[in-house]
Amino acid sequence: MQRIAVYLFMFAVFFTATSELVVAGILPELAGQMRVSLALAGQLVTIYSLAFAVGTPLIVTLTARLGRKKLLLATLAVFIAGNLASFASPGFAMLAAARVLLGASSGVLMVAAFGAAAKLVPAERLGSAIGTIVLGFSSAMVAGVPIGIALTERFGWQAIFLLLAVGSLPILLAIAWLLPETEGDAPVPLLRQIAVARDPVIRSALLLVLFREAGNSIMFAYAAAFLGDMLHRSTGQIGAIMLAFGIAGAIGSRLGGAAVDRWGSSRLIVGSVAAHVLALALLPLAVGSPPLAIAFMALWVLAMFVMGPATQTYFIEQAPQAASLVISVNISVTQIGLAAGAALGGAAVAMNGTVLYNPWVASVALLLSFAAALDSIRRKKQAFIKTH
């Protein structure tokens, strides 16, 4: 039963992550079919991320005492409704409103899934269970986004949202039928969540996450547009390339976990951010050679996913007694960064009339992330010296 529950959570996360990531893959087609600018269509990423960042901590706090099964069923029901609203959207305004439902429900579902797993799985197997659930996110990039691109090319952008709604329904029914009820948690006041950022080491680390996610979103939200407009790839080729990027991301996640154990989180964070900056700084210079440009984009995606385990480990190392709380704050900051990055990416496209310079704009944000990483590590070393 424990294993079945974990796999149900993984599939639920797969669907919610696909709803987040697929928009970047179908952005040009979505903008064209809705007759809005590419920059405006990109704000659908911003809306989702803001709803995730703001809605998740508020709803999680208000529903803390609610049983995890009830919370999972409620959030899946809202998620299905959000996808059906997206499918039926006659225009941009309704689709934007549906993205609010999708963002908030996806965030709460992820927290509820982790919470339920912690109560259902023995402590010695929790890490493996969490890893399996997170696999749903990387699988969304490997399979969900390419499927979304293929469906959009053949049936229009609405098709992927109908598929997400229909696909999520069996997960909801299976959870209702198979998952035992587990109690909720004692609520954590929002002021306590905010207070986590007062630690200088964690504060700098959160700035690292904020600027890193902003930089990645500046580029990722317009990755399909870059592949199409700058590298002249067809929709089918873009789908295949995004699939390859997803595979690179899955490999990166596995490599990142092993690398943390071998070299430590701090070294891996510094090296990964440096690779981010290098790959994106060189990308606009390589547009004349599509294979080289795609290789730089693959390096960027690989570094992005390699860094994931290092970042989570780094936060847990700084506050082992409040790991869940720190990770919750980190997730919210991540989504704020994604929202800000999508907005900045859209502004860059609107200002320049092209996506060519988005990698350089992203590099600036990632340089700030690099500086924040160095500052956090420096403060960590200083704190260690003072206490030993």
Distance CA 129, CA 117 (A): 7
CA distances, 61 to each of 56, 115, 192, 278, 334 (Å): 8, 13, 11, 40, 18
Model pLDDT for residues 15-49, shown as the tens digit of each residue? 999 998 888 888 888 888 888 888 888 889 889 98
pLDDT of residue 239: 81
- CATH class of the domain defined by 1-186: mainly alpha
- Name the E strands within 40-86: none
CA distances, 2 to each of 5, 48, 118, 321 (Å): 5, 31, 11, 26
| Residue 294 token pair | 């795609």
Contact (CB, 8 A) for 150 and 103: no
Is the CATH number of domain 188-388 1.20.1250.20? yes
Would you say the pTM of this structure is higher than 0.85?
no
CA distances, 337 to each of 69, 256, 340 (Å): 30, 22, 5
pLDDT of residue 125: 65
Model pLDDT for residues 95-126, shown as the tens digit of each residue? 999 999 999 999 889 888 877 877 787 766 65
In 3-state terms, what secondary structure has residue 278?
helix
Contact (CB, 8 A) for 209 and 333: yes
Residue carrying structure tokens 């959570």: 9
Ramachandran area for residue 156 (φ above 0: left; ψ -120 to 50: alpha; else beta)? left
Q: Domain-by-domain residue ranges, the chain?
A: 1-186, 188-388
Model pLDDT for residues 180-233, shown as the tens digit of each residue? 877 766 666 666 666 666 788 888 999 999 999 999 989 988 888 899 999 999
pLDDT of residue 100: 95
Percent of the chain residues topping a pLDDT of 90: 37
* Residues sharing a CB contact under 8 Å with residue 250, sequence separation 6 or more, in sequence order: 138, 139, 141, 142, 305
Model pLDDT for residues 348-362, shown as the tens digit of each residue? 998 988 999 999 999
pLDDT of residue 42: 84
